[in-house]
């Protein structure tokens, strides 16, 4: 008798007692559950077909879809309509990429050579200063240091992480050493560097470069792949005209950087 009384008391004191019907009605039914808009509208997945022959004809025998991106195909199709003959970049320039090496740092310029990587170049060619602290590679580094030296008039291209960014080596960086993650592009004597700079920075060339990207967590591209970038072999006069305009723009940037450096010195004073 006492047990029944205790149970009854507990049921009355329970705030949910007598409200189960209301709670059940508050639970949404399947028809009332909001639907995922992606499922409702349907996710858009781009697809396209590539022939087996196209894969076999590809030097890299790549099977990843990004290598056969339709934008890359469109860029090559656009080039095929050019009134000028098409040539590979390797026919217009010497292209090389140093091997990896373990760096030994020197404390200053007297004991080493100024060193740059891609991040440094962004700062040095943009506003004239390092993105971080200046570094110097010791000549005691166990590698062919001379093979790392860059010269005025060369082009450098990023090939790891950020792919395809082009840098012109100005006179103030002549004789510095650069990371192995920068492809060196040395124009042939009859090919104006300004023309190469302009073309390799163009959407048509950049799309080709992006199509060669490979790697798991970090994107990479090789100097052999860059050598296969197709470009129009324009008449000498047209190449020279593009070269002059490009070099004028680069020269103006160098003058602006020099002016900023003078202003910085005035501020220090």
Q: What residues contact residue 116 under an 8 Å CB cut-off, 6+ apart?
A: 124, 150, 173, 176, 177, 178, 179
Indicate the pTM of the whole model.
Answer: 0.76
How many H-runs (helices) and E-runs (strands) does the chain carry? 10, 10
Of the candidate ranges 10-24, 212-226, 235-249, the one whose mean pLDDT is the lowest: 10-24
In this predicted structure, what is the pLDDT of residue 4? Answer: 45
Residue 70: pLDDT band with limits 50, 70, 90: confident
Residue ranges of alpha helices (H) inside 45-130 are 52-57, 70-80, 118-126
In this predicted structure, what is the pLDDT of residue 6? Answer: 44
Answer yes or no: is pLDDT of 241 > 80: yes
Mean pLDDT of the chain: 82
The percentage of residues in the chain with a pLDDT greater than 70, rounded to a whole number, is 82
Domains of the chain: 85-268 (3.90.220.20)
Report the 10 Å Cβ neighbour count for 209.
22
- Which token pair is 30? 């399947």
Note whether 233 and 84 are within 8 A (CB): yes
Helices 203-211 and 70-80, axial angle in degrees (round to 10): 130
Residue 7: pLDDT band with limits 50, 70, 90: very low
Residue 216: phi and psi, rounded to 5, are -85, -85
Helices 193-200 and 236-268, axial angle in degrees (round to 10): 80
SS3 state at 182: strand
Average pLDDT over residues 242-259: 94
Q: What is the pLDDT of residues 136-163, one digit of tens each?
A: 999 888 888 999 999 999 999 999 988 9
Residue 220: pLDDT band with limits 50, 70, 90: confident
Q: What is the pLDDT of residues 182-196, one digit of tens each?
A: 999 999 999 999 999
User: Residue 131: which H helix or E strand, with range?
Assistant: none
Average pLDDT over residues 108-130: 87
Burial environment of residue 183 by CB neighbours within 10 A (0 to 12, 13 to 18, 19 or more): buried
In this predicted structure, what is the pLDDT of residue 69? Answer: 74
Beta bridge partners of 149: 177
**Antiparallel, parallel or unpaired: β 93-96 and 182-187:** antiparallel
């Amino acid at each position: 008798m006492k047990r029944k009384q205790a149970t009854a008391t507990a049921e009355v004191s329970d705030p949910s007692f007598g409200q189960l019907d209301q709670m059940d009605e508050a639970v949404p039914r399947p028809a009332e559950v909001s639907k995922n808009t992606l499922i409702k509208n349907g996710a858009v997945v781009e697809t396209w077909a590539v022939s087996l022959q196209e894969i076999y004809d590809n030097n890299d025998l790549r099977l990843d879809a990004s290598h056969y991106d339709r934008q890359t195909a469109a860029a090559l199709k656009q080039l095929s309509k050019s009134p000028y003959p098409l040539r590979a970049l390797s026919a217009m320039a010497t292209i090389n990429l140093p091997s990896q090496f373990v760096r030994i740092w020197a404390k200053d310029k007297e004991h080493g050579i100024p060193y740059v990587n891609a991040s440094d170049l962004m700062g040095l060619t943009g506003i004239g200063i390092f993105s971080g602290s200046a570094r110097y590679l010791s000549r005691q580094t166990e590698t062919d240091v001379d093979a790392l030296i860059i010269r005025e008039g060369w082009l450098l291209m990023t090939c790891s992480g950020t792919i395809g960014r082009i840098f012109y080596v100005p006179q103030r960086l002549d004789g510095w050493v650069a990371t192995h993650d920068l492809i060196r592009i040395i124009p042939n004597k009859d090919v104006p560097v300004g023309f190469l700079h302009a073309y390799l920075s163009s959407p048509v060339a950049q799309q080709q470069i992006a199509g060669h990207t490979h790697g798991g967590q970090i994107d990479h591209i090789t100097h052999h792949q860059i050598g296969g970038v197709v470009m129009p072999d324009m008449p000498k006069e047209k190449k020279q005209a593009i070269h002059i305009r490009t070099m004028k723009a680069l020269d103006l940037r160098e003058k602006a950087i020099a002016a900023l450096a003078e202003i910085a010195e005035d501020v220090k004073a």
